[in-house]
Each structure stands twice: as structure tokens, then as C-alpha cells.
A and B are shown apart, each in its own frame.
Chain A
Amino acid sequence: MTSETGFDVRKYDRFPTQEPRPDGELEQLEAAWCGPRRPGEWITAINNNIIGVYYVGAAMLFFVLAGVLALLMRTQLALPMTGFLPQETYNQIFTMHGTVMMFLFAVPAVEALGVLLLPQMLGARDLPFPRLGAYAFWAYLIGGLAFFCSLFFGLAPDGGWFMYPPLTGMTYSPGINADFWLLGIGFIEISAIAGAIEIIVGVLKTRAPGMTLDKLPVFAWAMLIFACMIIIAFPSVILATLLLELERALGWPFFDPLKGGDPMLWQHLFWFFGHPEVYIIFLPAAGAMSTIIPAMARTKLVGHSLVVMAMLATGFISFGVWAHHMFTTGMPQISINYFSAASMAVSVPAGVQVFAWIATIAAGKMRFSTPGLFAVGGLIIFVMGGLTGVMVAMVPFDWQAHDSYFIVAHLHYVLIGGMVFPLFAAIYYWLPMSSMRPLSERMGKWIFWLMFAGHNIAFLPMHLTGLMGMPRRVYTYLPGRGWDLPNFISTIGAFLFGLAVLLWVVDMVRNFRPFGPREAGNIHDGPGLEWLPSGYYSVRSVPLVKSLYPLWEQKGLAKQVEDGRWFLPGAAGGERQTLVTSPLNAEPQYVLRLPRPSPWHVFGAVFTAGFFLILTIQAYAAAVISGVLAVYCIMRWCWFLDTPHSRQTTDIGAGIRVPNYVSGPSSHGWWAMVIVLIVGGMVCLLAGFSYVFLWSRRPDLWQAPPEMTSMLLHLGVLALAGLAAMAAPRILRRAATRPETVATGLLVISAAAVAAGVGLELKAWWSVGLKPDVTSQGASVFALLGWSAAFAAIGALMGLYILLRRAFGRVSAERPSTVDLIGLFLTYAAGQAAAVLLLVRVFPGAGS
């Protein structure tokens, strides 16, 4: 095997070590990773074993809440023209049901599962950015609860979870209800992206040595693809919410056809996110199925690499199917045909996975314990949903089925079979990893059968209701069309489902005991590293992975791990550490010092949530104060991240020493920054698409850009900014005299130049009379430049930050990461601004 990093893989042969472990090593490890002792520490905690449990718990809370909303709706629809829920309440409830299930339950639930399971599965002590993970969790919880509570004040959004303008524009939704959706959801997406960054860097950089990509557990593959899809897809909904909020608050016409906007722009942006979203939810759940079914059948997953390829294919194809939600909007025939074909193609990888599961069941001997039942039940339901999915990919049929109850049936079969059942399988399977007692098998079986029956009784008749002509999103229906009976049956099924969930809550209350001294452990005889004995520090020592099923194939592994015979058996210097390895072959690269609990990320989350929520109720001064406090807390949190180490290297076992610190492209921080910039770039790219799209609708509204010389001047300023930002890290490493001061100076100059370039460009457009609230050109040019200005503003904050660090002597040539990352950000900001500038100046050209 050739080495990826220059690490001599023959050193692996020194493990497991034989010599006795030094005294006090385990005690030091436990002390470094000790759990909360005082009540407040349960809030400041950042360990994934704690945050992960909170995170799953919060997601399930929203599942139950949104489920209650579903029962209210089913009660209203049990009979025709009932008055149980008034029309406006029903409209809010169905909007909240969809929104909460998609944004506050499904995505966070699978993300939470990743936070809880991945470090254990990968043999890491924690995720690489534990405070970021905790920040994302608190932001999500606070934001989500406040968002949900809008329902109790009649302020909940009522435009549907898809929020189509113009219905959600200021004219037809003048209240702040729609703003709650736009600001609340936009904000929660940011927390989802933060989680995705953690997961990508975690899977690629913190795997146990020897866990090459072909030994990466299938669930980790799924989470990796999931997180990459979030990075690509979520910027679209963030942009869409931004644009609609700009239209609502400031009258910038992106969607208003009277001023050149187009409601279809929203649909493209929303579904470019919205369809991948379905696979974003499905893939991790499928990954869980591909983990649980082999464990329950006690055999390897048949076609492991086919399954991984299928998941990758799903990820790619899912970005090419968004317009199948728009077959009835009068799209050109050629687009319809393409999207129909792509929508059918995306079902092929799903078929591969389904048959891999069946083949695995056949190859082994399935145990019908609760996780096994949920897995098999989920498979059947998902297949049925997939088949109706193929049906609606057939365009002529979709013209009939679209927006009818047939679709309601289809999507619930897909999401409940593809996500909810696997999630319950996962809860019953993995809970013994985090709880002193497993859940009850007897109740689990009751819950499964009730849920399976309830699901089918509720949703199977809806196919028929749809074919009978019942549209979706109706708060009632007239008697005499034959819709009464199927609706009544659906309501009975919904309550059976609700009963199953209630029983599950009872089971959880009776048996779920987290954070105890000892967990129930590997009662299912699972093969993954997550079943190694563990504490808050995760595994005692990080094993060398030689198999996809290490606990089945590496005999005696658990004992060796517990005896500290493998990598990183202690906590050198009493610090929290995890091993960073290379992305392909997982060769040890350096030891990452992890942060400790702190209140600052919690305050940061509170004030960030406060900023968005207060903005919604239009108390602008208070919102600004909250925003400033959030920035302060986040800077405070970052301030001590880059403090010097007492030692340069750490012995990770068997005399192998790796550095404690690296900078540049092999460092975890560099990866995270690159991913953040990809998110920013996606938003910008989609904003550029919106600009071209709006131009294509109304080219007659486009006015000529400012004269060319100003463009060259502004590009020159931005080039200066980029060069200065690129030079700073190099100067810091190479300059002979005062490298810290020069590098800091260059970054400050760069930040100022980005701001100047963007500011001058804004002024140039303003002075030729382009106004953002008059035409779609104005709106989209100012939106693009505004996005660049937001980056310039963050760049300015970073300039201030580095200046402060320099003043306090916290910039050092030995520890260049801070300068590297700020330099990287500013280089990008300058490049993005230049690209935006070229687009709006050169396209469609001065002659228009």
C-alpha cells in the first residue's frame, strides 16, 4: 500500500502494544473528558455524547409536535364541512406541519444521529468542531421552539411549507406570519449547514487509522453524502428566503411580475433545494438501514460498494430533478421530458439499495427484534412510495395526480418508509449505546405493528381520494363526492399512528436512561466501532481498523481497546484531543486539541436566534443590539482557540509522535473554511442564475450599466484586495522582520479594499439611476452586490479581529492558522465581488 501522507504504514505493525500502560493514564483521560458536574455544565457541555442526545431529543420533540398538528388536521377532515378548526387556523396548521416535519424534524433528526454516532463509528473522541456543533444545536432548539410557538399567537405562517409567492408576498400576506417562516427557517438552515461542516470534516479527517475509504462504514458514507448535499442544496433556500424577505420588507421585485419579477423564480430556487432535500433526508436513513439490516441478519451487507455507488448516484441525480414539482406550470415540452427522465432515473439507485437489503436478509438469518421489524416494514412502505413516485414521474399522470391527495399519499409513503421507520429502527438499535437500559422489546413490537397498520390505514386510501379529485391543502370538502369514507378511514389510521408514537414516548420515559456510568452496550452484537466500550471520551484507545466489520472480524478488539493498546490511549497534558487522519487512507497526521465547554457559544446561539426573531417582530433597534452581542460572543469564543501548546508533538502510542498543530490544507480549520466558502459561492451562483433568469423574462427593463472605466477601477481595487489577502500567510511564514505586523497590515488593507471595491460599485449603479425597488434588474443587481457587501462586512469584522489579536500579541508565525483562514476568506470575498461585478456589467452588455 502506498502512503498518502508519507506516513510509514509499517508502523501499524507495532499495535496492539504489549507494554503496560503508565499509571494514571486512564484517570487523566477521564478527568479531561469528565461530564457535567454542576447543573450549568449541562448547558455549556459540548461533548457529542451529550449534545447528540439533546439533538436527537429535540428533533423527536418536534416530530411529536408536528404529529399532533397532523392529528388536528385529520380530525378536521374526518367528515365533510366540519367546523373543528376554522379555516385560518387550519391553513396555519398544515403549513406548520410540513415546515416543522421537514425543517425541524427530518433534517435535524438525521443530522443529530450523525452527531451522536459518527465519532464513535469513526473511532474519534469527538467531532472536530464541538463548539460549533453545540452552537448549531442551541440555535436550532431556541429558534425552532420560538418558531413553533408562533402558532399559539395566531402568527404562524399560512402560505404552505413551499411558501409560493405572490401568495406569501406583502400584498396577500401582510402580517408577520410569513416573516416568521422566512427568518425562522432561513436561520435554522444556517444551523443545518454548521452541522454539515462538522460532519464532512469529521468523516474525512477524524477517522481511526487504517479506516480507508473502502472500510468506511456505510452510514458514514451516507452522512458524508448527506452533508455535501446540504452544502449544495441549502444555499438555494437561503437565497430564496433572503430574496422574498427583501421583496416583503423593502419592495425589491424579484417575484412581482408588475416590475419584472417572476413567481416561477421562487419555484426554481425552492425546488432546487426542495427535491434534493427529500434525498438529504432519505440517504442517512438508508445508511442506517444498510447498517442495521446486516447486524440484524448477522451477515455482511451484500453489494456494499454497489450501495455506496448508489448513494453517490442518488446525490448527483437528485440535483437534476427539481422541476418535476412544476410539470403543471406550463414549462416547455423539452424540459418536461428531461425532468421526467431524470425523475425516473433517480429511482434506480433506490432500487439497488432495496435489493441489496433483500439480498442481505437472504444471505443471513433475520432476527425479528424491533429494529429488524422497523427495517423490514420501512422497506415495504418505501418501495410502495417509490412506485407511486415512478407513477408521478410520468408526466400525463402527474397532470392528474399533482397537488391532489395522491401526492399526499405518495410523499408520506416515501418519507415515512424511507425515513421515519428507519429512524425508529435506528433508535431501537442504537439506543443501548447511550442508555443504561435498552427499550422494551415487547412494547417495541406493539409500536411497530400499530405504526405499520396505522400508516397504511391512513395513507393507502389517500391514493383513492386523490383520484376522486380531492386537492391537497384544503381545510374542508363538500359532501356528496364520495370523499367522506376514505377520509374517515384515513383519520382512524392517523390516530393509530399517533397511538404508536404515544406508546414509544411511554417506552422512552420508562427505559431511556442516558449519561449513566455504564451503557447497556452491544446487545444486538453489532459489528461497528460504535459498540466498543466507551465513556465521555469515546473509546479508551483508537483502534487500527482492518475491516468493514471490525468487531466481527478483529478478534479481541474490545479488550485491547479498553486496555489502551491502540492509538492515543491517554489525554497528554490533560487536554481533550482527537486524532486527525488523512482523507483517503486515514493515516495519522496530527493531534487536534479540542475545545472545552464554554458559555460563549450558548450565548452566541441565544443572541443569534434573538437577532432573527426580533427582526421578525420588527423591533429593529433590539435586533441590532442582539446581533452585536452575538458577534461579540462568537469572537470571544474564537479568541482562545489558537493559543500555543506546551509541547510540539504528542506520542500517539508505540512511540509514534505526530505534531500537535498543523496549518494549511491539511488542517481541519482550512477544510471548514473552504466548505463555508462553497456555501457562499453556491448562494452567489444561484443569485447569478436569478439575475439571468429575470433578465430572460423582461430584457426590455434592463438599463445600461455605468461607464466602463469605473468597472476597471473597481476590479483593480478588488485585485489589490485579493493579492494582499493571498500574500499575508506567505509573508507571515517568510518575512524576516516583524512578519506578524506586516501580515496583519496586509489583511486589514485587503478587508478595506474589498469593502471599497464593493462600495464604489454600489455607488456607481446608484448614480446611474438604478434603484432596487423599481425593476427586477435593480433588485437583482443590488442583491448580488449586497451579497458581496455582506462578505465585505464579515471581512471587515475579521480585519478588526486580527488587529485586536495583533494588539494583544496573539498573532504568531508559528501558529499561522488564523492568518491563513482570514486570508482565504478575504481572497474569496474579493474574487466573488469581482465575479459579481463582471456579471452585472458585462451581461447582457452595455448595448441592451
Chain B
Amino acid sequence: MLSGWPPPVLDPAGPFAGPVTVVAWVLFVMGAVVLAVVLVALGVALFGPRKWKRRVGGERLVWMGGLAFPVVVLTALLIYGLSVTARVSDAPRDGEMRVRVTGEMWWWRVAYLDDQGRETVQDANEVHIPVGRPVVIELESADVIHSLWVPRLGGKTDMIPGRRNFMRIQADAPGVYAGQCAEYCGGPHALMGFVVVAHAEADFAAWQAKQAAPAAPSALPGAGVFSASGCGACHTIRGTEANGLAGPDLTHVGSRQTLGAGILPNNQGTMAGWIADSQGIKPGNRMPSYPVLTGRELRDLAGYLDSLK
């Protein structure tokens, strides 16, 4: 299959994206028909026989084509559009699963909320959801305006400092759905990716239980490198002394889909590359490169982080 095809917007994977795809096709057909009408009229006006031209060349055409025709088409579209708007954007309901996603320069802080709205599990750059039911995403920002967009699951919604927005997503089949920041947020905005991972209900419960647990004590040499290098000043690993809040929570970093906010696959190798040269890979991001580590330290550190499944 050709990569990128079908385009994600036209390949919906849930009920908040599906109706929009129908709208899109309706609009494309409308556009094609209107364009054809205009081009035919223009063609007649330019090259048509005199008899045809006379029919086109009067004020009647302006009234019919310029006023009546658009008013009818647009009114119909508007009514249709408003009904779809209402359908795909109705407010969050009680009892729906909630996830808070906070836009940060240039990654996403993720927290799963319980019924009282308290944060239970922290994560970063990916949201895991069960298939088949709507999940409410609470959108906030820690610095500038960002916008969360996962085209196959629905439209985008902005994250605005000082405000809290909502969007609902739902995936009908397990899978990984790519997204990206859609509001220009400076620097490496282009490299601020995101994924939604949809699990079958049972798998989701297992994932959630695993994610809620703190990291198991580790005897790996990399754990020592982690604390000795001061990584804990910015990162938290629950179950250890590391409790920094500036960067992503790393408690289960080894189980994530991507590194660097949706831009690298996640394994020991890319982890080592990211730590040693994060500024080369994603210029301007807030994590400094650590070229001072020896080869062995780097390898141990990557191995340790990779073990945090």
C-alpha cells in the first residue's frame, strides 16, 4: 500500500472522525459540481455560440448563479453542518474515562484521571485508550498554545494557557493512531508528535494496571548512571528517588511507542542516541545532549531505561 494513502482525514477510525469524513466527501462533491457549473458558464461565455451566450450574458445569470444558487446550496450545507457539529462535539458526560493532556514545549504530558478528577497515572507523548468507548481528553497548556490533532480519530482542539478545553475520541479497532501538534508553538514545533494506542478492553485493563505500578527496584548498572548523572532533576521514576517534573515521567518509558515525542522508534539504541545527542536530533528541545557519558555509561543508561517496561 502506498504510504500516506488513504489520507488519514479520509480514513476515519472512530465515531468522532467518521461523520466528518462524510462531510468532507459531501463538500468535495459540492465543490466539484459548483466548479463545473462555473467552468461551463465561463466556457459558454468565452467560446459558446451566440445564442447560448445571449442566455448567459444578462443580469438574470447574476441573480440565479450569484444569488439564488449559492443561497440554496449554502443553506442546505449549513443545516447539515450544524447537525454534524452538534453530533460530534457534545459535551463530556459523567462516567466517561478522562485523560488530561498538557501541551509543553515540544512534548505532551499525559495524566489519567479517576472519577474525582485526580491524577492517577502519569505518562508522556501517548494516550492509551480502550476501543469502542468514548474517552474525554482534557486539554491544557503549560506554556504556549498547542493543538492536539489525531486525524483518524477526529478534529483538533487547541490547548490554551489559562483555559481547559475538551475533546472526545474513540477508536473502533485496536491500533496505533499518529497525531501531531497543529498550532505553531515555536522552535521544533514540526517535531512534536503524538500517538494514541487503542487496546481491546482486557488488554487495556492490563496495561493500566502495569502502568499504575511503580518501577521495580533495579540492579542494573544504568540505574546508578541515571542518579549519578542527575537525570532525576528533570524526570520522575516512581519507586526511585528521581522526582523531577520538568520532563516526561520515565517510570515506564521502555514500554512507550516512541522517543522524542513521536519522532524515533523506542529501543536501547535510539535511547542512547537521544541521550547523547538530543539537540542534534530535535534542535532546540528542552533536553540537553549528554555527550560526556562514556560509551559504557551511555549503554548502561539506555539499557536501564529500556528495562522500565
Contact = CB atoms under 8 A, between A and B. Distances in A.
Q: Do chains A and B touch in the complex (CB under 8 A)?
A: yes
Interface string B43-62: 01110100001101111011
B218 to A, nearest CB: 32
A358 B5 contact: no
B67 A403 contact: no
Contacts of A361: 42, 45-46, 57
Contacts of A476: 190-191
A348 B165 contact: no
Contacts of A172: 105, 143-144, 186
A345 B2 CA distance: 39
B145 A306 contact: no
B61 A336 contact: no
B225 interface: no
Given A330-B163, A336-B85, A362-B45, A380 B155 contact: no
B217 interface: no
Q: Which of B35, B81, B165 has the most CB of A within 10 A?
A: B81
B98 interface: no
A380 B66 contact: no
A617 interface: no
A158 B144 CA distance: 14
B186 A358 contact: no
Q: Which of A261, A328, A360, A363 has the most CB of B within 10 A?
A: A328
Contacts of B41: 355, 358, 362
B7 A464 contact: yes
Q: Which of B5, B19, B24, B178 has the most CB of A within 10 A?
A: B24
A172 to B, nearest CB: 6
A396 B85 contact: yes
B56 A362 contact: yes
Q: Which of B41, B182, B188, B283 has the most CB of A within 10 A?
A: B182
Contacts of B44: 362
A344 B27 CA distance: 13
B31 to A, nearest CB: 4
A6 B248 CA distance: 79
B238 interface: no
A86 B283 CA distance: 9
Given A158-B186, A481-B3, A359 B85 contact: no
Contacts of B46: 361, 366, 376
A5 to B, nearest CB: 33
Contact of B66 (A160, A306, A345, A473): A306
A482 B2 CA distance: 7
Contacts of B65: 351, 355, 358
Interface in A356-395: 356, 358-364, 366, 376, 379-380, 383-384, 387-388, 390-391, 393-395
B263 interface: yes
A790 interface: no
A430 interface: no
Given A394-B27, A478-B263, A358 B56 contact: yes
A166 interface: yes
Contact of B19 (A345, A396, A403): A396
Q: Which of A306, A330, A402 has the most CB of B within 10 A?
A: A330
Interface string A250-276: 000000011001111000000000000
A469 B178 contact: yes
21 contacts: A87-B283, A88-B187, A91-B186, A164-B184, A167-B184, A172-B144, A258-B162, A264-B160, A328-B182, A344-B77, A355-B66, A356-B62, A366-B46, A397-B27, A399-B155, A400-B9, A400-B17, A401-B9, A468-B9, A474-B189, A482-B3
Smallest CB-CB A-B distances: 7 pairs: A482-B4, A399-B155, A257-B162, A362-B57, A363-B57, A474-B190, A362-B45
Interface of A: 86-88, 91, 158-160, 164, 166-167, 171-173, 257-258, 261-264, 302-303, 306, 310, 328-330, 333, 336-337, 340-341, 344-345, 347-348, 351-356, 358-364, 366, 376, 379-380, 383-384, 387-388, 390-391, 393-404, 464, 466-469, 471-478, 480-483, 697
Given A91-B186, A358-B45, A394-B27, 10 more contacts: A87-B188, A164-B144, A306-B63, A359-B61, A380-B42, A396-B20, A396-B23, A397-B27, A403-B184, A481-B178
